[in-house]
Amino acid sequence: MRRKEDIEQMEPDLSIEILGLKLKNPLILASGILGISGSLLKRMAEVGAGAVTTKSTGPSSREGFKGPVVVEVEDGLLNSLGLPNPGVSEMVKELDEAKKGKVPVIFSIYGFDINEYCKAAKIASDAGVDAIELNISCPHVKEVSVEIGQDPKLVSEIVKSVKETVDKPVIVKLSPNVSDIVSIAKVVEESGADAVTAINTVKAMSIDIDIKKPVLSNRIGGLSGPAIKPIGLRCVYEIFEKVKIPIIGCGGVSRWSDVIEYMLAGASAVQIGTALVNEDTAIFEKMKKGIKKYMLDKNIGEISSIVGLAHTK
C-alpha cells in the first residue's frame, strides 16, 4: 500500500496490460464507431485512446441496409446498419496507417458460418493485427432472425476453430440478447478465448407515430449509449463472478465515472462507442483527467488495482 504523500508526488498510472498487450490507458475505441479507415483509427490513438477496434468486417464486402439505419432515441442511438463493410481483404489495407497511432489495433470480424469466421480471422492475422475480436451479434445463416451469439454450441465451435486457425489473442464480443450471458461467457472461456467484451447493442425499436411504422428500415435494431450502461454493468459484474479471462466492458460509457464503475464491476478495460458520436474526440483526454483525479483523491496508484473491487464482501 503506497502512502498518500508518495501518491501525491507521482502521476497516477493509467496503463494496463491485457492479452499480453500494453495499453497506455484502459480506454478502447469500440467497433463500428469511426473505425472504418486507418487514418481515423490513427487519429483516435492520437487523441488519447489506449487501443482501437476496427469496424467489423467479413470475408466479402456488403452494402448494408437501405436507410433509415440510425435513429436517436432517449439516452441512446438505435442502429441497424446491416454490417456494411468493404470485406476483410480491403480493410487490412488500412492497417499500416492505423498502426502509425502506435496503440494496439484490435480487428473485429464477423461471419455467417464457421468457415467465414476462420477465413476472415486468417486474413486479419496474416496482416499483423494485435488481436481479433469476434462479433457474434450477427444473424445465423440458417436461422436468419437468430443471432449467432444466442447459440452456445455454434459459438463454441467458432471460437475453437478460430483459435486453431490463428495465433493471436481472440476476444469474443458477447451479445446481451440472451437469457443467460454468464453461461455463454463460460462456454467462450472453455472454448479457448482469451477475453470477452461485454456488451454489444441491445435489441430494441422505435415507431414513427405519424406513418405508423417502425422507424428503422430493418424494423428492429441495436440500442447503444447511456441507456444501456446499467445493462452492460450488470453483465460485466455477473461474468466476473464466474469467468477468469479478462473482461472488456462496453455499453454507454460516456463519463470518466462510467469507466470506474465498469472497472469496479470487473472490467480490465472499457470500450467507448456512442459517446464519440454525441461528443467530440476530446472525450478520451477528459476521461483520463477525471480518472486521474479520482485516483489521486482515493489514493490509488495503479488503475488496474481497482478491477473487480465492487465484489469485495
Mind telling me the catalytic residues?
A: 138
Q: Quote the CA–CA distance of 206 and 97 in Å, as a whole number.
A: 38
Nearer residue to ligand FMN within complex by CB, 131 or 275: 275
Taking the complex as a whole, how short is the minimal distance between the CB of residue 63 and ligand FMN, in angstroms?
Answer: 14
Nearer residue to ligand FMN within complex by CB, 42 or 173: 173
Q: Quote the CA–CA distance of 171 and 128 in Å, as a whole number.
A: 16
Q: Which stretch binds ligand FMN (CB under 6 A): 148-156, 185-193, 223-231, 259-267?
A: 223-231
Site string (53-92) toward ligand FMN, x via CB under 6 A = --xx-------------x------x-x-x-----------
Nearer residue to ligand FMN within complex by CB, 33 or 193: 33
Phi and psi for 216 in degrees, rounded to 5?
A: -75, 145
The reply on whether position 44 binds ligand FMN by CB under 6 A is no
Q: How far is CA 142 from the centre of its chain?
A: 26
Whether the upstream peptide bond of residue 68 has omega within 30° of 0, thus cis, is yes
Radius of gyration of the chain (CA): 19
Nearer residue to ligand FMN within complex by CB, 44 or 300: 44
Which residue from 80, 191, 268, 274 is in contact with ligand FMN, where contact means CB under 6 A?
274
The reply on whether position 251 binds ligand FMN by CB under 6 A is yes
Q: Quote the CA–CA distance of 148 and 68 in Å, as a whole number.
A: 24
The answer to whether the beta carbons of residues 236 and 259 sit under 8 Å apart is no
- Alpha helical stretches, state H, the chain: 4-9, 38-46, 88-91, 95-99, 114-126, 152-165, 181-190, 229-242, 256-265, 275-278, 283-297
The answer to whether the beta carbons of residues 91 and 121 sit under 8 Å apart is no
Nearer residue to ligand FMN within complex by CB, 155 or 300: 155
Q: Which of residues 89-108 bind ligand FMN (CB under 6 A)?
A: 108
User: Number of residues in contact with ligand FMN, rule: CB under 6 A?
Assistant: 26
Taking the complex as a whole, how short is the minimal distance between the CB of residue 82 and ligand FMN, in angstroms?
Answer: 10
CB-based closest residue to ligand FMN: 32
- Give per-residue burial for 151-180: e unless 16+ CB within 10 Å, then b: bbebbbebbebbbebbebbbbbbbbbbbee
Q: Quote the CA–CA distance of 6 and 300 in Å, as a whole number.
A: 11
Site string (182-201) toward ligand FMN, x via CB under 6 A = ------------------xx
The reply on whether position 249 binds ligand FMN by CB under 6 A is no
Q: Which of residues 24-43 bind ligand FMN (CB under 6 A)?
A: 30-33
Place of cell 432515441: 73
Which residue from 228, 236, 291, 307 is in contact with ligand FMN, where contact means CB under 6 A?
228
Nearer residue to ligand FMN within complex by CB, 239 or 300: 239
Q: Quote the CA–CA distance of 198 and 190 in Å, as a whole number.
A: 17
Which residues are at the interface with ligand FMN (CB under 6 A)? 30-33, 55-56, 70, 77, 79, 81, 108, 135, 173, 200-201, 224-225, 228, 250-253, 272-275
